[in-house]
Amino acid sequence: MTLWQLIIKEIRYQKLSFYFGITAVIVAVGVLIAELTLLETHDLQTKIILASKEEEMKEEMSIMEDDYRKIMKILGFNLLILPEGQQLSDFYAEGYATKDMPEEYVERLSASNIMTIRHLLPSIEQKIRWPEQGMKTIILIGTRGEVPFTKRDPKEPILVAVPPNNIVLGYELWKSLNLKVGDKIRLLGKNFQVSECHSQRGSEDDITAWVDLKQAQKMIGKQGRINAILALKCHCQGNEIENIGKDIKRILPNTQVIELSSRVITRAEARDRAKETAEFVLTSEKYYRAKLRREIEGFAAWLVPLVILGCIVWIGFLTFNNVRERKTEIGILRALGLRSKQILFVFLAKAVLIGIFGALFGYIAGFIIGLTAGETAFNSETIKTLFSPFLFLLVILTAPILAGFASWVPALLAAKQDPADILRNK
Amino acid sequence: MLSIEKLSKVFQGPKEIIRALDGISLSVEVNEFVVIQGPSGSGKTTLLLSAGGLLAPSDGNIIIDNQNPYQMSSDNRARFRASNIGFVFQQFYLVPYLSVLENVLVPSLAISQPNLRERAEKLISHFNLTDRISHVPGELSTGERQRTAMARALLNNPKLLLADEPVGNLDNENADIVLCALKEFADSDGAVLMVTHGDRAEKYAHKTIQLKNGKLL
């Protein structure tokens, strides 16, 4: 006969009390594990959703970039043909070409059979003082509009020339000088009629005046000279700027070709916009998932401790009741020589058994409930992913300790009972 | 075997001090069966529990086998009880969920001795309980329960047997069986101290002493 046999026999005799105890632990452990599993499934699902969103976004960005690439291919490059001797550093510093080249270059290009350029816009540009307006600094651009290609069918020009004796003014100029369309003005001794007033562009265009090319050349003393040819909607095999550059240099050997930044900027902006959109969607999803997690955590934060506390109280009550019912038995066992430690062991061991069985069944129940109620599919793969041997072991070890803790006071009362008191009172 | 010298025991009642035992001295020698006879409330159970090392006296000494159990620690006293003293009570105090064999073996939880199971089976056989060996107390008659309690008291081969009204709930036949067993134990180098309010044990006892109001007459 051993104490364990005595404990097992008593458990069999008082089945209901033992089942009540186990049920309490099952509920406590079940709630805890179900909540943890719910959070685990939530995290797993969050990972899946975010990974899928990221993949989706990558695809969308790729599609978007491809779309932009195609659009840009349709739109073509915007090129600027500059004199060969033009230092690009000066060009970028001044905002226009400081060197010039013969206007005849544009005629040569338009008469060629080059197919990679669609529109040609020659211009002369120079920063000048406007003596009639208190030496105001302006940019004067002379343009003759688009130069048609002589070997191709005529196309609708994308830019219209400024007619002679007309002037187009940038926002800052007409605004500061209080001018409007139809007003007459003098510039460098020539009379012009304001034909158009541009709205604000937030660039050097706002201090620019556009006039007829010939008039501009004459005004700044550069007759028959231009300093840039803008080539719009350029196309070539594979969209390589080098190919177009080679074509142009073949016709105009004393020039250099640069690509205007618009295309690069457009693509970069498109990419940035797509990235921003993707990041916003991902951030929103992350925020929503985190919020949902906080809600589950918040619910668990009061439910789990409450249930565990209830379980502790319940086991304590069951043990106390068990001690009360077995008072005579405790008395006779003590009279027959059992030590108080052995009596303590009898009650604590029972509580530990309740804890072990309750934790085992509670873990299984909680895990199944958590998986069933969770967001992920209930399959062997999910079980493998979410099952934590460490947590299982922790629960199996902790629950008996808590059950023992709950039973400690009544078990101690049992151990401390005076057998003489019990037997005398009987 | 048992020597009680000027034993007094007082309890604090709700209003006054109750003197349950008042200067009792007696001894029970080996091979002796002593019966203390007295009415209810005379202090019989208090005397028995004090003699059994379960209730510390207010005054006086109790020596069992040349040792004072009350000078031992609680755990050592428990071990001493398990090794030297057997108890039999009127209410039997059997563990309700244990079979006859297991109930008889309960003292083995306190102290381990070789061949206790064989000894338990012999005792069960001796008390004619073999056919009830696997029965729980709820399935036994009153006499069978008391015989089981007797077998339990004798399992650890005690030197002193203390019996509190062991035949109080028994019919004549079973009472005789129990009293015979007590006498038999005393005759086989044991010592028995029995308290009772009846006179049934007189013919088995070597000595019968009257107890009244906590004093021996």
ipTM, 2 dp: 0.88
Q: What tokens appear for A251 in the block?
A: 């016709």
Structural domains of chain B sorted by starting position, each given as residue range(s) with its CATH number in brackets:
2-216 (3.40.50.300)
- Residue type present at position B84: N
The verdict on a CB contact (< 8 Å) between A420 and B89 is: no
pLDDT for position A32? 93
What is the strand order of the sheet A208-212 is part of? A184-187, A190-197, A166-169, A208-212, A136-143, A119-130, A228-234, A77-83, A255-259
A120: phi then psi, degrees, rounded to nearest 5? -125, 130
Residue A333: in which H helix or E strand, if any?
helix A327-335
C-alpha R_g of chain A: 45
pLDDT for position A309? 92
The verdict on a CB contact (< 8 Å) between A331 and B49 is: no
Choose the closest CB to A335 out of B83, B87, B156: B87
Distance of alpha carbon B137 from alpha carbon B146, whole angstroms: 10
- A328 and B CB contact within 8 Å: yes
Helix (H, G, I), strand (E, B) or coil at A161: coil
Q: What tokens appear for A259 in the block?
A: 């690509």
- A380 and B CB contact within 8 Å: no
Choose the closest CB to A423 out of B49, B78, B107: B49
Number of residues that this document lists for chain A? 426
Q: Nearest Cα to B181, choosing from B65, B78, B86?
A: B86
The sign of the torsion formed by the CA atoms of A409, A412, A416, A417 equals positive
**Domain assignments of chain A as residue spans, ordered by start:** 3-63+271-425, 77-234
What residue of A is the nearest CA neighbor of B107?
Answer: A336
Distance of alpha carbon A159 from alpha carbon A210, whole angstroms: 13
Q: Write out pLDDT tens, residues A140-186.
A: 999 988 787 766 655 554 556 899 999 999 999 999 999 999 999 99
The verdict on a CB contact (< 8 Å) between A419 and B98 is: no
Choose the closest CB to A426 out of B54, B91, B106: B91
- A384 and B CB contact within 8 Å: no
Neighbours of A277 (CB within 10 A): 14
Q: Write out pLDDT tens, residues A298-341.
A: 988 899 899 999 999 999 999 999 888 888 888 889 888 888 89
Instruction: For strands B32-37 and B191-196, give the pairing.
Output: parallel
- Residue type present at position A150: T
Number of residue pairs across A and B with CB atoms under 8 Å? 89
Place B140 in a pLDDT band, splitting at 50, 70 and 90.
very high
Helix (H, G, I), strand (E, B) or coil at B185: helix
Least confident stretch, A98-112, A209-223, A273-287:
A273-287
How close, in Å, is residue A339 to chain B by CA atoms? 6
Distance of alpha carbon B179 from alpha carbon A83, whole angstroms: 138
Query: In this model, does residue B136 exceed pLDDT 90?
Result: yes
Query: In this model, does residue A59 exceed pLDDT 90?
Result: no
Q: Write out pLDDT tens, residues A111-145.
A: 887 777 777 889 999 999 999 998 999 999 999 88
Distance of alpha carbon A171 from alpha carbon A336, whole angstroms: 112
Q: What tokens appear for A11 in the block?
A: 């458990």
Distance of alpha carbon A128 from alpha carbon A142, whole angstroms: 13
Distance of alpha carbon A212 from alpha carbon A198, whole angstroms: 17
Per-residue CA distances from A117 to A112, A114, A120, A257, B142 (Å): 10, 7, 8, 12, 122
What residue of A is the nearest CA neighbor of B89?
Answer: A423
Distance of alpha carbon A363 from alpha carbon B94, whole angstroms: 39
Q: What tokens appear for A335 in the block?
A: 């009279």
The verdict on a CB contact (< 8 Å) between A426 and B105 is: no
The verdict on a CB contact (< 8 Å) between B93 and A13 is: no
